Structure 1
Amino acid sequence: MSTISTLISLNTPLSHVIYQSSSDLPDTWDHVANTTLFLQKKYFEILEHSCPSNMKCFFIGIFQNKELVGVAISQFLDLKSLESFGERDKCLKTIVRNFLFKRFASHVLFIGNCMLTGENAYVFSEAVPFEKQIKVLYEARDEIEKILKKQGITIHLLTSKDFSIKEITKINQTSICDVFQFTTQPNMIFSISESWKNEEDYVAELTKKYRDQYKRARKKAIGIVKRKLSISEIEDNQELIYDLYYHVAKNAPFNSFFLSQNHFIELKKIWKDNFLFYGYFMDEKLIGFTTLIKNGSAMDTYFLGYDNSIQREKMLYLNMLYDMIAYSIKKKFKTIIFARTALEIKSSVGAKPETMFGLMEHKNPIINYFLPYFFHFLEPKTSWQERNPFQ
């Protein structure tokens, strides 16, 4: 994960403090977490006010002596309280998977953030050896498990996410190298060329096939108006926005949570201009939306929603991707984090897959022994063909 520089003694043992409120975090928290918005106080405040109903968040401060040298996030998910894990796949395998999750793996404790894709779990001072980082994080996780047990919650599954190839290589040199490692859908990353000054420069570098795709999508979108929404407009359209989001979310192959209705309002209220909400209108009716988060030199795409019947007719999702690319080029971002799902269409606009790894343990030793088999049997498979629109 990301690191920061500070002068500390390597011989002093690390300690941790578990926080459940952003108001209790040390004053130096954001200085340590300055490499990503997703570990800073304001984001944790957003989660406190609007995290999914089946989620509890814990914030971990890592100290050497009394100096804060690392920060992390942990989340507990109660999957049993979900009405649906996702309604896209109706096969027998999916029915069996959902039953087993609810019966044997409904209480999940993460190191990391299951609402995001990418390395957003922790930040440490670069002076802290990696082995010590992992050790203190596992100690903190053990304490969170005890906190939950006092509340009558028994953890079934322990997992950590997301790790890049570089990070998992370091993990393989530590004492937890024998923990089951898994991969799911890759993180789709779009790199913005320094030579691109506007959308036209991007389109000019596409091959004819993909320029034609771009022209066809833009032609289909005639009649759709896109505009940035203010917080009052998000509030006025809250129910419709949630319906559009929920339609997309429930048709995913697998869900571990659903957003709260006020989540986008809280994001806009607290993050202001760092959170962008774009509505798509046809005949003055909201038919879709996208959200973007400015995170340093990276533009993170967030949740979206749309009317599926109009999406197909107007190629709305593809146009949304082109709009995100155009805005990010104009504002001189270096990368766009398109995250998981819809891999092939994201690939067709130029995003590249980055493999992300996770760690998983089951508290039942017998289930844990067979976990690699169970995981590969139950994990939804996604078949897709990588595209290269620039060659």
Structure 2
Amino acid sequence: MQKNAVLNFSSVLDIPSDIWKQFTNIQSYYLKQEYLNALEKNHPKITFRYIILLDRNNKPKAFAVIQIIDFYFETVKNDLKSFQKKIKELGQKLYLFPKKKPFKLLICGNTFVSGEHGILIANGFDKKQTIKELAKAILNYVNSNDNYQIDAFLFKDFVNESLSITNELKDYNYHPFSVEPNMVLHLDKTWNTFDDYLQDLKTKFRVKAKKALKLSKNLYVKDVTKDSIAQQLSEMEELYKKVAKNASFNLNDFNLNTYQEFMHHLDNNYIIKTYYLENKMVGFMSGVINNDSLDAHFVGIDYNLNRELAIYQRMLYDYIKVAIDNNLSTLNFGRTASEIKSSVGAEPQDLTMYLRHKKSITNKIIKLFLMRVQPTPFHQNLPFKNKPQ
């Protein structure tokens, strides 16, 4: 057998169990079969592929999650001064991105979640060498399949600690660029209750929190279970659409039916709360307990009532309460709304993506273009007492 054989699968369920058993270091929920299968079943417009590298002894050394999407740059709003708007304007000015037809994008990573959820390298292998081999395998796979008219390749969401490894992608003509950060709250070990968290806030931010809790006191909050979710999905869907429509940038719409399978597999580790004003649902939040972290997922909000009832602010505090009650270490709020998330204690975690256009000349232009793109700056609040300023 050649030094590094490559296996390709169109469904995660096609991957043999003996291969899965070799990846003993799978910790993240986002790389488990049940999670990836739930995404596949509920998102037919996304093409899912899975690439596995084998070493010379047929031992699996790396696993990559591929999601191929059609992205329309027209969906990026023109009325918002956002990081994504800058990408759109510069890209179209340089004729890098089509204006009307879809941009076929191959993503190594997760379209729906911020973070490093696209690559798993088995223990004992050289990570720098392996990621280069994965990049080559992905390119060869696309070139050998005429069905894929890929415009560009994207490796997404690497933290600073990983860049010494992922910068090897530059050897395959990938260009790094910074994106809006993941907002992370590091929970203090002394926070045994939500009141402990409140007491650690400076007066200004504690007053703000109590005001939001007072404004939202008439909301009735339901803990959604796997038995009750089906009855609430249609209302949740309407609220999610409001948020998605309001977003400046969205790679793909999430199908909320996926929640039912998440809850079936994770039971109490998948968190969904719905918010009602009398008998009307006005919001929902969702998240997963992933090892020692709570990862905030999608939310839905009735924007007409958001200011009056402080719905979104209440959700942020409820995420914090869930994390404290479960003795977790971190709370990943994800991207967007960075300033308001920093007001509850979250700090930015820098993320880097790597992009390569399939056309070599265009790819060289993209390098210059990406150097001009920077995340939207925001005011970082420092809400805690007795913390370094």
Query: Which TM-score applies when normalising by structure 1?
Result: 0.88
- Greater displacement, 99-108 / 205-214: 99-108
Task: Give the TM-score taking structure 2 as reference length.
Answer: 0.88
Aligned residue type for 2:104? H
1:150-161 maps to which residues of 2 (within 5 A)? 150-151=146-147, 153-161=148-156
Distance in 2 (CA, whole Å) between partners of 1:184 and 1:93 is: 12
For the 8 Å contact 1:32–1:69, the answer to whether it is kept is: no
Contact 1:87 1:250 (C-alpha < 8 Å) held by counterparts: no
Task: Tell me the CA shift for residue 104 of structure 1.
Answer: 7.9
Distance (Å, rounded) in 2 between the aligned partners of 1:216 and 1:90: 29
Distance 1:199 1:179 in 2: 44
Query: After superposition, what is the alpha-carbon deviation per residue over 1:41-83, rounded to whole angstroms, capped at 9, x for unaligned?
Result: 11111111112x5321112222222222322211111114x88
Instruction: Give the alignment of 1:1-391 within 5 angstroms.
Output: 13-27=3-17, 28-29=19-20, 31-51=23-43, 53-64=44-55, 65-80=57-72, 84-86=75-77, 89=80, 100-102=97-99, 106-146=103-143, 149-151=145-147, 153-172=148-167, 176=171, 179-375=174-370, 382-391=376-385
Aligned-partner SS, 1:341: coil
Answer whether contact 1:105 1:156 (CA < 8 A) is retained: no
> Relative to 1, partners in 2 of residues 1:189 and 1:141: Cα closer, same or farther, differing over 3 Å?
same
- Over 3 Å counting, the alpha-carbon distance change for 1:218 and 1:26 in structure 2 is same
Alignment-derived partner of residue 6 in structure 1: none
For 1:105 and 1:93, the matched residues in 2 are separated by 19
> What is the alpha-carbon distance in structure 2 between the residues aligned to residue 328 and residue 16 of structure 1?
40
Distance 1:105 1:359 in 2: 20
CA distance in 2, matches of 1:47, 1:190: 27
Kindly tell me: are residues 155 and 201 of structure 1, through their superposed partners in 2, closer, same or farther at Cα, counting changes over 3 Å? same
Amino acid at match of 1:24: D
Runs of 4+ residues over 6 Å off in structure 1? 90-95
Q: Distance in 1 between matches of 2:140 and 2:221?
A: 47
Letter matched to residue 194 of structure 1: K
CA distance in 2, matches of 1:134, 1:188: 26
State the shift of 1:359 in Å. 0.6
Query: Aligned Cα RMSD in Å?
Result: 2.6
Give the SS at the match of 1:13.
coil
The secondary structure found in structure 1 opposite 2:208 is helix
CA 1:388–1:59: 2 relative to 1, 3 Å = same
Aligned length: 375
Q: Which runs of 5+ in 1 are unaligned?
A: 1-11
Q: Would you say the 8 A contact 1:78–1:107 is kept in 2? A: yes
- Aligned residues with identical type, % of pairs: 26
CA drift at 1:87: 7.3
1:194 Cα offset (Å)? 1.1
Give the AA of the match of 2:382.
Answer: N
Residue 14 of structure 1, CA deviation? 3.1
Amino acid at match of 1:361: R
> Structure 1 CA distance, aligned partners of 2:266 and 2:328?
18
Counterpart-to-counterpart distance in 2, 1:251 and 1:87: 12
